A and B are shown apart, each in its own frame.
Chain A
Amino acid sequence: MTVYESEEDFIPTSDDRSMPIAATLQDLLIVSLISVPLQLIATDLSLGSVLGGLLALYGLCAVGLVLTKYVPFYLPSVAWISLVGIALTLPFWPWFDWFTGVVDGIDFLALAVPPLAYAGLAISKLEIDVMRRSGWKILIVAVLVFVGTYVGSAAIADFMLSVTS
C-alpha cells in the first residue's frame, strides 16, 4: 500500500508482480459493479448488455493480471491488460464479431470516472504540502511541460502522418 510520508515514497518501489491476485480480483469486482449504474446512465444499453460488457472487460483484466504474475519478464499490469485486449480482438479470430459486439457498446469515458474518484480521495497530505511548498512558479512550469509535451508529440505525429501517407 502506498502511503506517502516523505518524498522518497514517490519513487515506485513495488512492481505489480507483488499484487495478490485474489484480492485484486475482488477489488476489481467491486469497481466493475460501481461501473454498472454509470454505464446505464451513459449508454442506451440494457442491464444485461452492460453486465455482459463489463464481465468481458473483467475477464481481460483477469488474464492480464495472471500474465503479469507468471510471465518471466516484467511489464506493468496495465500493459499486459492492454495487450490481452488487443490480442483477443484481432480481426482474424473466429469470435471477432461476437466479442467486439459484447464490448463495443461500453462507454469508455464512463469507465474513467471511478479511477478519478479514487484518485481524488487518495491525494495525500504530503502532496498538498509539496504543492504549497513548490508554489505557483512550479505550477506554471508544470503547465508548460504538459503543453510542450502534448503539442510536441502532436506536431511530430502530424508531420509523420503527412509524409508517410
Chain B
Amino acid sequence: MEAMKKLASLWPIHLIVLVTAIIAQLIGVRAIPIGIGTILLLPLLFAFVFALALNPNVIKPIASVLSTKRVAAASPLIVIAIMPFIAKFGTTIGPAIEQVIEAGPALLLQELGNLGTILIAFPVAIWVFRMGRESIGAVHSIAREPNIAIIADRYGLRSAEGTGVVGVYVMGTLFGTFIFAILASLLATAEVFSIEALAMACGVGSGSMMAACAGALAEANPGASDTITALSGASNLLTYATGMYVSLFIALPLVEKIYVKVRPDDPGNKRTANVEESAR
C-alpha cells in the first residue's frame, strides 16, 4: 500500500526521465571538432540538460505543472539509478584483474593527483581573484560529499572556508560532468598522456563525472573500451577508500600552511590556530 502510494507520487519524475533519456539516447554521441581536438557531447549530458530545462527550480514557469516539492523526490533516486552502471563497471574490472593489479602502484599514487589543484587553482584564487580563506575550502579537493564533511567538521559550513567548498561543490554538481567530458575528449585526442593514465584519472570524482569521462575516452578509443572502464572503475572504487584521507591528512593541511604563508595578516588565520590549540 505504502509502496503503491509512493509510486503514484513519483510517476511524473520517472516519466520525465524515461522521455528525456530516450530523446538523449536517440541524439547519440555528437563530436564537435575545435582547433585543439574534438569535444564529444554524450547522451548523458543531453539528458542532464533536458531535465534541467524541466526543473521548476531552474525554469520558474514549470512550477505551475510540476511542483518543486515533487522534483525534490528525484534526489534519492540518483544514487539508485547509478547502481546498474556501477555494477557494469565492476564486471569489467573482474576479467581485467591482472591488468588492474599490475597497474596498482599507478592507481594508488594517482590518488594524490588532487594536489594538482594547489598548482593551478590556488594561485588564481589568491592572486588573480584576491579571495580570502574561501580559497582553502575551494581548492583543497574536488569538493564531493566527503570533502564537505571534512570542511564542515573543521570550520563549519557558514565560515569562509565553508563558502568556498560549497561553492565548488555546487559548481561541480551543475557543470562537473561537462568539464570532465570536455577535458577527457580533448586529452584523448591530444596524445599527451597514455589512454590508461587518462582512464585512471577519470575515477577521481563522482560516479556521473566518471561516466562522462570514461564515456568520452571510450568514444575516442573504441578499441580500448574495456581497459578504460576497468581502470577508471578501479580508480573510482579506490577514491571511496582513500579520497577522504588524502584530503584530510595531506591536501587540507598543505593548503592551510601555504595560505598562512602567503597571507600572514589574515585575521581568520588565528581563528583556526585557536581551533587547533583547543583540540590539543
A84 at the binding interface (Cβ < 8 Å): yes
CB distance from B110 to the nearest CB of A (A): 4
Report whether over half of chain B's contact residues are helix, strand or loop; otherwise say mixed.
Answer: helix
B binding-site residues for A, Cβ under 8 Å: 3, 6-7, 13-14, 16-18, 20-22, 24-26, 29, 42-45, 47-52, 54-55, 57-58, 68, 71-95, 97-98, 102-103, 105-107, 109-121, 124-125, 129, 131, 134-135, 138-139, 141-143, 145-146, 148-149, 152, 157-158, 162-164, 166-177, 179-180, 183-184, 187, 193-194, 196-198, 200-202, 204-205, 207-208, 211-215, 218-219, 229, 233, 235-237, 240-241
| CB neighbours of B84 from chain A (8 A) | 28, 31-32, 35, 54, 57-58, 61, 111
Which of B24, B26, B48, B88 is A85 in contact with, Cβ under 8 Å?
Answer: B88
Task: Give CA–CA (A114, B169) in the complex, Å.
Answer: 21
Q: How far is the CB of A107 from chain B (nearest CB, A)?
A: 9
If the complex has contacts A119-B78, A153-B111, are A8 and B49 also in contact, measured as CB distance less than 8 A?
A: no
Cross-chain contact B71 with A122 (CB below 8 angstroms): yes
Q: What's the dominant secondary structure at chain A's contact region?
A: helix
Q: How far is the CA of A125 from the CA of B131 in the complex (A)?
A: 25
A146 to B197, Cβ gap below 8 A?
no
CB neighbours (8 Å) of A75 from chain B are 240
| 5 more CB-based (< 8 A) A-B contacts, given A12-B149, A145-B168 | A82-B90, A115-B44, A133-B167, A145-B138, A154-B110
| Cα A157 to Cα B196 with chains together (Å) | 8
Q: Provide a sorted-by-A list of 22 A–B residue pairs whose CB atoms are within 8 angstroms.
A: A2-B76, A8-B152, A10-B169, A77-B83, A78-B83, A90-B97, A108-B214, A109-B29, A109-B218, A110-B43, A115-B44, A115-B81, A116-B45, A121-B54, A138-B171, A140-B124, A142-B168, A144-B124, A150-B180, A152-B114, A155-B116, A160-B105
Distance, CA A12 to CA B109, complexed state (A): 27
- Whether A138 contacts B208 in the complex (CB less than 8 A), given A34-B17, A112-B85, A121-B71, comes out as no
Asked whether A131 is an interface residue with its Cβ less than 8 Å from the other chain, the reply is yes
Nearest A-chain residue to B106, judged by Cβ: A160
Known contacts A120-B48, A147-B179: A141-B129 contact under CB 8 Å: yes
Using CB atoms and an 8 Å cutoff, list the residues of chain A in contact with chain B.
Answer: 1-3, 7-8, 10-12, 16, 22-24, 26-28, 30-32, 34-35, 37-38, 41-42, 54, 57-58, 60-61, 64, 75-79, 81-91, 96, 99-100, 103, 106, 108-125, 127-128, 130-131, 133-134, 137-158, 160-161, 164-165
CA distance A127 to B114 in the complex (A): 24
User: Closest A-chain residue to B150, C-beta based?
Assistant: A11
Q: How long is the Cα–Cα vector from A112 to B93 in the complex, in angstroms?
A: 17
Contact residues in B for A150 (Cβ distance below 8 Å): 113, 116, 180, 183-184, 187, 201-202, 204, 213
Q: Cβ of A115 and Cβ of B207 under 8 Å apart?
A: yes
Set A23, A54, A99, A152: member contacting B117, Cβ < 8 A: A152
Contact among A140, A155, A164 for B105, CB-based, below 8 A: A164
- In Å, the complex CA distance between A149 and B115 comes to 7
Pairwise interchain contact A85-B89, C-beta atoms closer than 8 A = yes
Give A151 to B17 CA distance when docked, in angstroms: 33
